[in-house]
Amino acid sequence: MAAHPGGLSTAAPAVRIGGLTRAYGERTVLDALDLEIAPGEFVALLGQSGSGKSTLLRALAGLDYEVAGTGSVEVPGKVSVVFQDSRLLPWGRVLDNVVLGLEGADAAARGRDALAEVGLAGRERAWPSELSGGEQQRVALARSLVRDPELLLADEPFGALDALTRIRMHALLRRLCDRHRPAVLLVTHDVDEAIVLADRVLVLDEGRVAAERTIDLESPRNSADPRFAEVRAHLLGALGVTGERDLD
């Protein structure tokens, strides 16, 4: 992949989070978290269940209405979200789902282009229920990208897909991000997925960033690469899943 130009870090960030604290009742989920994401940077967020990664993503998406908390969250004007489920309206055809809420005469044409980009040209008139899980998630990607997001938030977008489909989706997402260059925050529990896709991986633990790793492996990234294995061991360690310790 295109290496990250060093100049990006000096430009205004696409995301700026300062001292973000979120709590559900007594339980602090995010604890004075600071985070910046540069424009066009792909950040993956790893963490165990309950580490606060989904809470962080929902805070960025503006979906944490009734949650108590403090801190500042600044995001660009155009934010798209991809959920774990494709969340297509079952009563809308594929193209209608992609352009849902878009204004303008060229909306349909843009929707068609977006579908072609995710390899679904010709399926515009299909119902979501006629598509496979991977295809549905590609429609969801098209729905996000047709809005030209400056920030793409993805909450375990491939979590429900089978392993083979997931590998294909990784390549597709990487390609789309290289072309559209949104800042990306990908929440995942799959360490390999994070390493394959991201420029930078954060490990969240009990509401704080427990580890941070810039991934400078060249593309395409190969999990058989010893440096890949080293990064994986580092991140797994930060997640508390080193071989022996896990047995206690």
Partner 1 sequence: MDTQTTDAPAAVPPRTTPPRPVLRTVRARRRLGPGRRIRFGFLLGPLLLLTAWTLGSAAGLLDGRFLPAPWTILGTAGDLIASGRLQEHLLSSLRRAGLGLGLGIALGTVLALVSGLSRWGEAVVDGPVQIKRAIPALALMPLLILWLGIGEVMKVTTITLGVLVPIYIHTHNGLRGIDNRYAELAETLGLTHRTFVRRVVLPGALPGFLVGMRFAVTSAWLFLAVVEQINSTSGIGYMMELARTYGQTDVILVGLVIYGLLGLFSDGLVRYVQRRALAWRRTLED
Give me the residues that bind partner 1 (CB under 8 A), please. 61-63, 79-81, 83, 85, 87, 89-92, 100-101, 127-130, 143, 147, 241, 243, 246-247
Token duo for residue 90: 């079952």
Least Å from the CB of residue 117 to partner 1: 18
Cα 127 from Cα 156, distance rounded (Å): 24
Least Å from the CB of residue 144 to partner 1: 9
Least Å from the CB of residue 8 to partner 1: 26
Residue whose CB is less far from partner 1, 92 or 159:
92
Handedness of CA 180, 185, 188, 194 (dihedral sign): positive
Q: Which stretches of the chain are assigned E, i.e. beta strand?
A: 15-24, 27-37, 42-47, 68-74, 79-82, 151-155, 183-187, 200-205, 208-214
Least Å from the CB of residue 154 to partner 1: 12
For the stretch 27-47, what's the b/e string if a residue is b when 16 or more beta carbons lie within 10 angstroms of its beta carbon?
Answer: ebbbbebebbbbbbbbbbbbb
Residue whose CB is less far from partner 1, 24 or 91:
91
Residue whose CB is less far from partner 1, 19 or 122:
122
Report phi then psi at 47, rounded to 5.
170, 155
Residue whose CB is less far from partner 1, 128 or 182:
128
Residue whose CB is less far from partner 1, 87 or 227:
87
Least Å from the CB of residue 80 to partner 1: 7
β-pair partners for 154: 82, 186
